[in-house]
Amino acid sequence: MRIAIYPGTFDPITNGHLDILERALRLFDKVVITIARNSAKNPLFSEKERLEMIRRSVRTLKGVEVDSFDGLLVEYARKKKAVAVVRGLRAISDFEYELQMALMNRKLDEDFVTVFLMPNEKYTYLNSSIVREIARHDGDVKDFVPPHVLEKLTEKMHEGKARSKGTKR
């Protein structure tokens, strides 16, 4: 069984993430899509909400496990008996950071393999922070996320606005 790990923040999961996941499923028997708990980031959605959105998004896909982890990716990959870690490359701007991470992880564990996949070009300019930003300004993000994620985003933006109105009074 060839297992791969697909780590990220997924705040929220987008069609770009799902494009990469589906490509990875063609190469591996199982892909573990996993939320990296990162104290440096302050996500809009809680871990529980992000896990729920991922689970709903992958319901029709075979060979996917949904998880989250703390600590070093190399340790987690070893624990999961993964043969590779999958990352998406959108543009040259992703490359420098991804190269640094891939080489550092290989330094920590020489068996660590990173596989880079490129999404359909329509997703090359897409990331979760742009989606959050557009949604915050009531822009239309329906082409970028699954319908149930769109619903959660709309709810979250209304909650945020109601809260800030409450504090102004």
Per CB under 6 A, residues contacting ligand ADP are: 8-10, 14, 16-17, 20, 87-88, 90, 94, 119, 123, 126-129
Give the tokens for residue 27: 């190469």
164 CB-near residues (< 8 Å, 6+ apart): none
Active site residues: 17, 41, 90, 128
User: Given the complex with ligand ADP, which of 117 and 157 has the nearer CB atom?
Assistant: 117
What is the closest distance, in whole angstroms, from the C-beta atom of residue 38 to ligand ADP in the complex? 8
What does DSSP assign to residue 119?
P
| Tokens 């699954």 -> residue | 146
Q: Which residues touch 122 (CB under 8 Å, ≥6 apart)?
A: none
Amino acid identity, residue 105?
A: N
Do the beta carbons of residue 72 and residue 101 sit within 8 Å? no
CB of 129 to ligand ADP, least distance (A): 5
- Closer CB to ligand ADP, 88 or 146, in the complex: 88
Decide whether 41 or 163 has the Cβ nearer to ligand ADP. Answer: 41
Q: Pseudo-torsion of CA 50, 52, 53, 54, nearest 10°?
A: 90
Least distance (Å) between residue 97 CB and ligand ADP: 9
Half-sphere exposure at residue 44, Cβ-oriented, CA atoms within 13 angstroms = 23
The least distance separating ligand ADP from the CB of residue 1, rounded to whole angstroms, comes to 23
Residue (119 or 146) nearer to ligand ADP, CB: 119
